[in-house]
Amino acid sequence: MGQEIFCSAFTQQDFWRFQNRLRAETAELADWFRVERFTATQGVAGFEIEAWLVDRQGQPAPINEVFLARLANPLVVPELSVFNIELNTPQLPLYGPALRQMHANLEHLWQHCQRVAAELGGLVMLIGIPPTLQIQNLTLEHMSCRERYRAINEQILARRRGRPMQLAIHGVETLNLAHPDVMLEAATTSFQTHLQVAPAQGATFFNAALAASAPMVAATANSPLLFGKVLWRETRIPLFEQGVALAGGEHSDDPRHWRVSFGGGYVQHSLLELFEENLTHYPPLLPVDLSQEPVTQLPHLRLHNGTIWRWNRPLLGFETDGTPHLRIEHRVMPAGPSIADTIANAALYYGLVHGLAQMQPPISRALDFGLCRANFYAAARDGLQAEVMWLNGQRLPLQQLFLEELLPLARRGLLALDIDAADIQTYLAIITARVTSGCTGADWQQRFFSRHGSDLTELTLAYLDRQRSGQPVHEWAC
């Protein structure tokens, strides 16, 4: 949910003060890079996953406050709307039995959430966008009771001079609408992986994450429908970008510097470049006075970074002894379809990003950034059928690229991490079957929609039934 704040009304002096502190903390961070203050520990991995609370008819249920109070688990927190929650699991060293430990941790937490939801007459659902979601669900009355969300909404609308969000998505069908606030963002529930990296390898891994974004969004697509229209395979991507549409600078419409974007280029030397870009291109949204917090925690820099939603985002964190560390957050994947699919998606990402990071020449020289960015949006729109430009200059469908190059590369990446071979086989077999059959969560929804008609409730209940089975999506019957 991001760091909570305790006010939502700000003066111009608050913005000036925050900007000065942000400038000082960015300079301090630059010193940390210069003197190599960060921990050298790397290969620690984890994730967070957003979920929906729905009733027995598959309709969004506005019960997250009572649900969270009854659950009483600090690993599950509120999200933007009262229909959403976020599940977190412990970070783990990425070797040996890490994948099945992640699976066990998530399964245990998931079952606990389902039991509590059942007590409230509901269910928990993992999906990018629920088919039953309606525009009237996405109002300020359904915003979670958090000052952070209220302040972000007010500040974005102020920057837009009160102009509503304009949504224009052209896919299989076309959706055009205006919305008065940022609640469209609540429709986009994600599976976000974290990977701790050593500072010296931060640029390499960040660039690898950028290159991995197209195949990852295609193989995991699970959001084909919005308000009854069939749009992109992963409609979350244009929806989130347009739903909080705000250029970084006051007078810039450059999409490379939108608050939600793929970014403007590869990292050249270190992740510091992205924090410096935060300072240069993104005016503060939440100018909160955090001077009561330890200066050594760089609180203003971290809060500001949390209001810039790149699809791949650098994160600054701290070890238990206070030593800083760096993580890369990969944000392109939707939630769902099943727990087994979720861990398979994580395995694919961790293997693929490690494989790409080891390639020579480096990915930043082997694949032009403009092509990398174009690949991402093509994959979000067309899924595994998207044609992309890859490292050898060849243009080919992502499905073919997966089977010929990417799955073997991900396997090599996981083996190099010393992940248990049986686990590698288990989880990559799920990805292989999904890619071979072409049955992602998005494809399953579209097939069901085509075969059974446009009853969105029937589709949602069928999805929930199959999700409860625990089977990966390629085994689901339409």
Our measurement of the distance from residue 409's CA atom to the centroid of its chain's CA atoms, rounded to an integer in Å, reads: 23
Q: Where are the domains of the chain?
A: 12-45+145-473
How many Å apart are CA 247 and CA 258, to the nearest integer?
Answer: 4
Please state whether the peptide bond connecting residue 215 to the residue before it is cis, i.e. omega within 30 degrees of 0: no
Q: For residue 64, give Cα distances in angstroms to 77, 89, 102, 144, 392.
A: 9, 19, 24, 8, 48
The whole-model pTM stands at 0.96
- Which mean pLDDT values do the consecutive 10-residue runs of the chain (478 residues) have? 64 95 98 96 96 98 98 96 97 97 98 98 98 97 91 89 91 96 95 97 98 98 97 98 71 68 96 97 93 93 96 97 97 98 98 97 96 98 97 92 98 98 98 98 96 94 97 95
pLDDT digits 0-9 by tens, 15-59: 999 999 999 999 999 999 999 999 999 999 999 999 999 999 999
- CATH number of the domain at 12-45+145-473, please? 3.30.590
Cα atoms in the 13 Å half-sphere on the side-chain side of 458: 10
